[in-house]
Homo-oligomer: A and B are copies of this chain.
Amino acid sequence: MAEKSTQPSEGRSRIERLRFSFSDLGIDALVVSNLPDILYLCGFSGSAGLLLVEHSRSTLFTDSRYTFQARAEVSEARVSIVKHGPLAAVGSALRAMRGRTRVGYAASHLTVEQKKLLEGYSGGRVRWVPDGNVVAKLRCVKDAGELSRMKGAALAISEVFGTTLPLIRPGVTELDLAAEIEYAMRQQGASGPAFETIVASGPRTAWAHARPTAKPFSKNELVLIDCGAILHAYCSDLTRTVFLGRPPKKVRKMYQAVLDAQEAAKQAIRPGVKAGDVDRAARVALKLYGMAAFFTHSLGHGLGLEVHEMPRLGRGVGTLLQEGMVITVEPGVYIEGLGGIRIEDDVVVTANGAVDLTTASREFFEL
C-alpha cells in the first residue's frame, strides 16, 4: 500500500530526529495533532488520532474505526485504541507523568477548544509550550525517498496536462475538463487530486482560485488549469494557461511577462537564499513589462504530503532555502475583464539551484 511507503526508510527515524529538538524547545514530550505530521512521523494515514512523542517512547492514540489499519501501518510508535477520544487519552498519559512536565503542542493546528480540553484532562502540572512548527520544519526538507515520490507525482501531473490538452476546445465546459483531468490523474496511478482542480476560462481566469463551473469554453479566450495529483501520499501542483485561437498582442505580452518572471525566480533559487528574495526576483521581471501590480499573490509555497507546506515564498519572507526543499514557482498576472495568466512548476532546491520536477511544456499553446 502507498501509505506504508511514506515511512522513514533511511538512517535515523523521523521520530528520533524530532526528539533532537526537544532540548531546544525545552520540552519533555510533544503532542502531534496535525494528521499529515502524524503520517510523516509514524506512517498512520487514518483521519483521527493524536501522536504523543516522549523521550523514550511514542504512542499513537486513535479510535476503534482504525484498529486494524493502525496495526498494519504503524511501526515507529505503540498503538493505543481509545474509547473516549484521543484528547482524553493523551491528557491521562500526561497526567500520569511524574513531576512538572513541559509539553509541546502545535499552536497553529490545535484549536482553542482542543487545547482547553487537553488542559483539563492533563491537570495543572503540565506547562504548555508552542512547538514552533517543529514537525513542519523537519518536513520541508525532503529525503531521497520522498524526492523520488514527489518526482513521480510531478511527472504524473505533467503527463495529465499533455493528455488533456487536446480536449480543450469550444463547447467543452470547465467542469467537463476538470472531470477529465482528475480521471487522467487516476490513470497515472494517483490516489486522487491534491486539491480541487481549478479550471477557469475567459474573464474568470482573473479569479486566481476559481472553481470550475458549467461555463463552456469559447473561441478567443484564455483557459487556466491549476491541478495536482497525490501519488504515494505526495502532492504535485501544476498550472498552465492556454489560448483558444490566436491571442491578441496584449495577451501574448502578458504570457511572456509571466514566463520571464518564472524564469527569473527559478534562477534566483539556491540554498541559503531568502524566500522573499526569490519572490522579489519575479516581481522585478514583471516590472519590466509594467505588470508587477497585477501579480496579486505570493510566488509559491512548499509542497509535500500537503499541497501547502513550509516555506512560503512571499514578500519579505526571511526563511532561507535549503537543499532538498520542494517548492512551487507560480507567478501570475490578473487583469479584471481581460483575464489571468499563471505558470506554475514544482522545483527541488539543489546545490546547483532549482531543478524542475514538473515537465509539462511552458509553450503558450494556441488551440
Q: Does A336 contact B (CB under 8 A)?
A: yes
A96 sits at the interface (CB 8 A): no
* 15 A-B contacts (beta carbon < 8 Å): A47-B209, A63-B297, A66-B209, A67-B296, A68-B336, A105-B112, A107-B113, A109-B111, A111-B112, A112-B112, A175-B186, A178-B186, A179-B187, A182-B186, A183-B186
Q: Which residue of B lies closest to A112 (CB)?
A: B107
Which A residues fall within an 8 A CB radius of B?
A: 1-3, 45-47, 63-69, 105, 107-113, 115-116, 130, 175-176, 178-179, 182-183, 186-187, 189, 191-193, 196-197, 206-214, 296-297, 334, 336
Residue of B nearest to A337 (CB): B68
Distance of A162 Cα from B60 Cα, bound (Å): 39
Q: Which of B112, B192, B197, B336 contacts A196 (CB 8 A)?
A: B192
Smallest beta-carbon distance A51→chain B, Å: 17
Point out the residue from B183, B207, B209 that lies within 8 Å of A182, measured CB to CB. B183
Q: Are B211 and A3 in contact (CB under 8 A)?
A: yes
Within the assembled complex, what's the spacing in Å between the Cα atoms of A20 and B178? 41
Q: How many copies does the complex hold?
A: 2
CB closest chain-B residue, reference A65:
B208
Least distance between A29 CB and chain B CB atoms (Å): 17
Residues on B with C-beta less than 8 A from A116 are 107
Tell me the complex Cα distance, A108–B214, Å.
35
List B contacts of A105 (CB < 8 A): 112
Q: Is the CB of A296 within 8 A of B65?
A: yes
Distance in Å from the Cβ of A297 to the closest Cβ of chain B?
A: 5
Cβ distance A298 to chain B, nearest Cβ, rounded Å: 9
